[in-house]
Amino acid sequence: MAEARVNPEGLLKGRVAVVTGASRGIGEAIAARLAMEGAKVAVSARTAEEGDSKVPGSLAGTAARIRRAGGEAVAIRADLAAPGDRERLIAEAVAAFGPVDILVNNAGLNFYVQVPDFGEKRLRLMLEVQVVAPFHLAQLVLPSMRERRQGWIVNISSNASGHPAQPYRGIHGTTVYGMCKAALERFTTGLASEVHRDGVAVNVVSPELVATPGMEFHGLINDAVKHRLQPVEVIAEAVLRLASGDPKTMTGRIDRAAPLLEALGVAPAALI
């Protein structure tokens, strides 16, 4: 991996990025990688300060990490289940840095419960955060992107969006999560077709299994899956490449992170 540093003259010089779910894990890594290439980054999540959540990580920590390395970042606490918070997030990002060039919809959640026992409140929350919020945030940033004929939207999906293969193994509690991610992918390709002539790229990328603080907190990282773990740098690099590619040719893609980087001939950079 290349040396970790912020390059103010990098691929994203002068661009403004919003990254949701950026208090820890994949979102934090994405925010750091975009900042390394010169982007001004607005990071958002519900966990503003360390200790606000049982899981390690915070918006303040992510923003401080970027600033210490010489980058620019602003932390904006927002609950993406609330439409008003989504509107405020974009308004505050624009007030801080200017019109949004890059939107990364990374925020997500899951309840590991099978369909017969999945309550309506939880169902609506998952749909709101992982389907409605990316839709609404795209609506909020698209007018400026179309006016300036420049924009990149990257949606973070999951291998759970695919259909379970037979013979079935009775995987516990992934049906609703997979349904949300499948909807996100279909939204991505549809929107990509709508805004292609406007100079706006819309893509999806999925990581493999990443040892994030959230995964570890819920006991999902164990000896049985350790051989599948992927460094967080891989998904961060993949997002950078999709957020800096030519919107005329690199749009409407549904990619996995590692194969995408291999096809592009790019190695993931170390993070600040």
Question: What confidence tens digit (pLDDT) does each residue in 115-171 have?
Answer: 999 999 999 999 999 999 999 999 999 999 999 999 999 999 999 999 998 998 876
Compute how many other C-beta atoms are within 10 angstroms of the C-beta atom of residue 96: 15
Strand partners, 42: 18, 74
What phi-psi label fits residue 93: left (phi over 0), alpha (psi between -120 and 50 degrees) or beta? Answer: alpha
Sheet holding 40-45, edge to edge: 72-77, 40-45, 16-20, 102-105, 151-156, 200-206, 254-256
CATH number for the domain harbouring residue 64:
3.40.50.720
The number of domains in the chain is 1
Q: Looking at the domain assignment, is residue 11 inside a domain?
A: no
User: pTM score, two decimals?
Assistant: 0.94
Q: Looking at the domain assignment, is residue 158 inside a domain?
A: yes
For residue 30, what are the contacts with CB-CB under 8 A and spacing of at least 6? 19, 22, 104, 106, 235, 236, 239, 240
| Rounded Cα gap, residues 116 and 114, in angstroms | 6
State the residue range of the domain holding 35. 16-264
**How many Cα atoms sit within 13 Å of 218 on the Cβ side?**
9
Q: Looking at the domain assignment, is residue 180 inside a domain?
A: yes
Return mean pLDDT, the chain.
Answer: 94
Confidence at residue 194, expressed as pLDDT on a 0 to 100 scale: 98
Q: Report the length, in residues, of the chain.
A: 272
For residue 235, what are the contacts with CB-CB under 8 A and spacing of at least 6? 26, 29, 30, 156, 205, 207, 210, 257
Q: Looking at the domain assignment, is residue 166 inside a domain?
A: yes
Q: Looking at the domain assignment, is residue 8 inside a domain?
A: no
Confidence at residue 173, expressed as pLDDT on a 0 to 100 scale: 82
Q: Looking at the domain assignment, is residue 1 inside a domain?
A: no
Please say if the pLDDT value at position 1 is more than 70: no
- Catalytic residue set: 177
Q: Looking at the domain assignment, is residue 5 inside a domain?
A: no
Q: Looking at the domain assignment, is residue 7 inside a domain?
A: no
